Structure 1
Amino acid sequence: MPQHGLALTIATPAHVIVEGLPVVSLRAEDESGAFGVRPGHADMVTLLSASVVRWRTPDGVEHYCAVDGGVLIVSGGETVALACREALPGDSLEALEADVRRARAAQIDAMRRARVEQTRLHAQAVRQMLLYLRPRATRGEPG
């Protein structure tokens, strides 16, 4: 990490998106609104809103990551750690917006398929219960 900079880590349960990445500034959003973090920032912990986190690297390039909320921790004025359930990084807002739209559509489709499968399994279970609950005579078995 460059002296007088920040080290950024963004992680989900499945992936580490960035680890110890040198950054000169970061912008995020919590319930109170947007805020910035620069080297020397006071220690803090906050719950992020679903939003886009952006940071600038020492070469002046801005990067982005869509998060579904999460916890952001600033410690020692030089470490920023963000933990969230889902994160989608991108190098431009336009590309990130399209990626988020595609990911959301895939999520909605997966939820729809799961509901259809759940309904199918439920109907199958009801049919099986009805079969076993019928009197034996109607099932063709001797009484």
Structure 2
Amino acid sequence: MTDDSLSLTIATPARVVVDGLAIVSLRAEDASGGFGIHVGHVDMVTLLGASVVRWATPDGTAHFCAVDGGVLIVSNGATVSIACREAVLGESLQGLEAQVHGTRETQLDAMRRARVEQTRLHARAVRQMLRYLRPQAARGVPQ
């Protein structure tokens, strides 16, 4: 990192998505609206909503990352750190949109499967309790 660049780190609980990447500017969005960060920015902490964070590297390339909420911290006017629940990188907004939709569908499918399994386990537990509470009926003995 040089004096005219920032260091960017984006992390989720499961992985580090961007690790100390040199950038020249960053654009993000919190509850008050969009804002930009450049070298020398005052220290700050803010909560990000579900949004797209954009940044430019020293070669002028734009990069994008969809974040599912999180915390953005600027330290010493040279370091930007984002901690978020989920992050999806993309090289273009159109490509990122498709990736986010795919990721979201995968998450929804996993949640549906977990709900079905939870219901199945609950029903099994109720049947076991009924067998325990009415042992004669379970064995076919009239009450």
Same fold (TM over 0.5): yes
Report Cα offsets for 1:13-58 as digits up to 9, x if no partner.
1111111111010000111111100111111000111100000001
Amino acid at match of 1:81: S
**Once the 2 structures are TM-superposed, how far is the Cα of residue 136 of structure 1 from its aligned partner?**
2.8
Q: Partner residue of 2:67? A: 67
Give the Cα–Cα distance (whole angstroms) in 2 for the partners of residues 138 and 13 of structure 1: 47
Give the Cα–Cα distance (whole angstroms) in 1 for the partners of residues 52 and 137 of structure 2: 65
1:1-143 superposed matches below 5 A:
1-136=1-136, 139-140=139-140
**Once the 2 structures are TM-superposed, how far is the Cα of residue 134 of structure 1 from its aligned partner?**
1.1
- 2:102 aligned counterpart, secondary structure: helix
Q: Is the 8 A contact 2:44 2:75 kept in 1?
A: yes
How many positions carry a matched residue from both structures? Answer: 143
Uncovered stretches (5+) of structure 2, i.e. residues with no partner: none
Uncovered stretches (5+) of structure 1, i.e. residues with no partner: none
* CA pair 134-91 structure 1, distance change in 2 beyond 3 A: same
24-33 vs 14-23, greater mean Cα deviation: 14-23
Give the Cα–Cα distance (whole angstroms) in 2 for the partners of residues 136 and 7 of structure 1: 70
Q: Between the two proteins, what is the percent identity of the paired residues?
A: 70
Q: TM-score, normalised by structure 1?
A: 0.94
Return structure 1 stretches of 4+ with deviation > 3 angstroms: none
Q: What is the alpha-carbon root mean square deviation over aligned residues?
A: 1.7
**Once the 2 structures are TM-superposed, how far is the Cα of residue 140 of structure 1 from its aligned partner?**
4.8
Give the Cα–Cα distance (whole angstroms) in 1 for the partners of residues 105 and 19 of structure 2: 28
